[in-house]
């Protein structure tokens, strides 16, 4: 079987091609963008990261199907993360392509453009999660990172609520699926049996939850409700942003729901005898497919794991299964 990250333009349905674009210095390795023939040109689901390597590969991949970047008339972006959004912005600047993004991601863009931010937003989140040392390391890690606003411009259209779009001869269902980000959308072509899933449903890994600079009250609840919404749709071919195309969206949704049910069980067990913070609990849980310890991970993944644990604990609080109190600037959870 060909590695899903292998460069090229792969037909997944008539008039639809999967194009993997590189993510150097990123554990995900590549992001799939999907080129849809819309009659007047191409609509891309997601744009890739605005880096030279991705632009070069997008050009060569499109050339292999006798297309050019200038043929892209529109982008349907699943969410605001850099590997999905930023190249859509740069292509728009050159060719006037229309960019659409979920309205729930507007607070993140607003924060990127804000001029009165004194502290990286994840630093106070990590302190509240009981991880002051990680917060300090994160502050040092991000100290010199200033966003390039030229790749974080606002979209032309904000997607709101569930609705239908016309893409050439296709009717596409734009389905709001908050969870991974508050503005995440998936796009379903039910007639052709295709689900452009972004990061909402990934075939071999689980999308991060609770790791946003502007955090939702209940990101895990939102994610599970969004999974249930996709599960209630027809069973479609899964076209993910990271990983190979697979046959059944339902099968993977069921696995993701079971995964988070198990993580909730682990969180209950961790707190059953001793109250603790999100960071305390995260240290007791296995991470990644290799069951790594939190102490074995770098600062980025430690922060991600701590805040995802927070999302699980907060859901248990909302369900009435736990209580929490703020003690010395950190949230402490107990049964």
What is the tens place of the pLDDT at every residue in 84-137? Answer: 999 999 999 999 999 999 999 999 999 999 988 889 999 999 999 999 999 999
Q: Which residue has the higher pLDDT, 290 or 232?
A: 232
- Name which of 256, 278, 285, 131 is nearest 197 in CA terms: 256
* 3-state class (DSSP) for residue 239: strand
> pLDDT by residue (tens digit) across 54-81?
999 999 999 999 999 999 999 999 999 9
Domain containing 72: what range? 10-126+153-251
* 3-state class (DSSP) for residue 170: strand
CA 93 to CA 291: how far, in whole Å? 44
Q: Is residue 141 part of a domain?
A: no
Residue where a domain terminates, one of 251, 284, 300: 251
Count of the separate structural domains present in the chain: 2
Per-residue tokens: 99: 């960019």
Per-residue tokens: 263: 């993580």
**pLDDT computed for residue 273 by the predictor:** 87
Does residue 239 sit in the same domain as residue 265? no
- Name which of 47, 39, 46 is nearest 15 in CA terms: 39
Quote the mean pLDDT of the chain: 96
1: pLDDT strictly greater than 60:
no
Residue where a domain terminates, one of 230, 251, 272: 251
For the CA atoms of 7, 8, 14, 16, what is the dihedral angle to 10 degrees?
60
Does residue 174 sit in the same domain as residue 309? no
pTM across the whole model = 0.96
CA 181 to CA 178: how far, in whole Å? 6
First to last CA, the chain: 48
The residue whose two tokens read 């890739």 is: 48
CA 66 to CA 103: how far, in whole Å? 34
Does residue 116 sit in the same domain as residue 204? yes
Q: Is residue 145 part of a domain?
A: no
**H/E stretch holding 222:** helix 219-232
Q: Is residue 245 part of a domain?
A: yes
Residue 133 neighbours by CB distance under 10 Å: 12
Output helix, strand, coil percentages for the chain, rounded to the nearest 5: 40, 25, 40
Does residue 192 sit in the same domain as residue 106? yes
Does residue 48 sit in the same domain as residue 197? yes
**pLDDT computed for residue 322 by the predictor:** 97
Per-residue tokens: 58: 């997008």
- pLDDT-based confidence at 232, cuts 50/70/90? very high
12 with 245: CB under 8 angstroms? Answer: yes
Beta strands in the chain (DSSP E): 10-13, 16-22, 30-37, 42-45, 72-76, 98-102, 157-159, 163-167, 170-176, 185-189, 194-198, 237-240, 323-327, 330-334
Percent of the chain clearing pLDDT 70 (strictly above): 99
> pLDDT by residue (tens digit) across 286-329?
998 888 999 999 999 999 999 999 999 999 999 999 999 999 99
Residue where a domain terminates, one of 251, 270, 291: 251
Does residue 316 sit in the same domain as residue 182? no
């Amino acid at each position: 079987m060909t590695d899903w990250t292998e460069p090229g333009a792969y037909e997944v349905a008539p008039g639809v091609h999967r194009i993997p674009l590189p993510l150097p210095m990123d554990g995900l390795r590549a992001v799939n963008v999907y080129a849809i023939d819309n009659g007047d040109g191409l609509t891309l689901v997601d744009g890739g990261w605005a880096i030279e390597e991705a632009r070069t590969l997008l050009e060569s991949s499109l050339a292999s199907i006798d297309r050019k970047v200038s043929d892209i008339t529109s982008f349907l972006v699943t969410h605001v993360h850099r590997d999905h959004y930023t190249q859509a912005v740069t292509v728009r600047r050159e060719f006037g392509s229309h960019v659409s993004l979920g309205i729930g991601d507007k607070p993140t863009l607003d924060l990127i453009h804000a001029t009165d931010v004194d502290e990286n937003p994840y630093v106070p989140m990590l302190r509240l999660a009981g991880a002051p040392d990680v917060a300090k390391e994160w502050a040092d890690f991000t100290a010199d990172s200033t966003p390039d606003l030229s790749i974080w411009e606002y979209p032309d259209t904000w997607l709101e609520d569930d609705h239908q779009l016309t893409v050439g001869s296709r009717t596409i269902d734009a389905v709001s699926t908050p969870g991974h980000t508050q503005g995440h959308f998936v796009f379903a072509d039910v007639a052709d049996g295709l689900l452009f899933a972004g990061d909402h449903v990934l075939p071999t890994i689980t999308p991060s939850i609770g790791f946003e600079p502007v955090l939702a009250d209940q990101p895990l609840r939102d994610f599970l409700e969004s999974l249930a919404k996709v599960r209630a749709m027809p069973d479609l071919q899964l076209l993910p942003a990271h990983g190979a195309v697979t046959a059944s969206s339902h099968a993977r949704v069921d696995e993701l729901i079971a995964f988070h049910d198990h993580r909730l069980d682990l969180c209950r067990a961790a707190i059953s005898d001793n109250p603790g913070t999100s960071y305390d609990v995260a240290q007791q849980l296995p991470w990644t497919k290799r069951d790594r310890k939190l102490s074995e991970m770098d600062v980025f993944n430690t922060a991600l794991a701590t805040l995802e644990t927070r999302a699980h604990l907060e859901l248990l609080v909302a369900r009435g299964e736990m209580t929490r109190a703020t003690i010395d600037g950190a949230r402490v959870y107990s049964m």
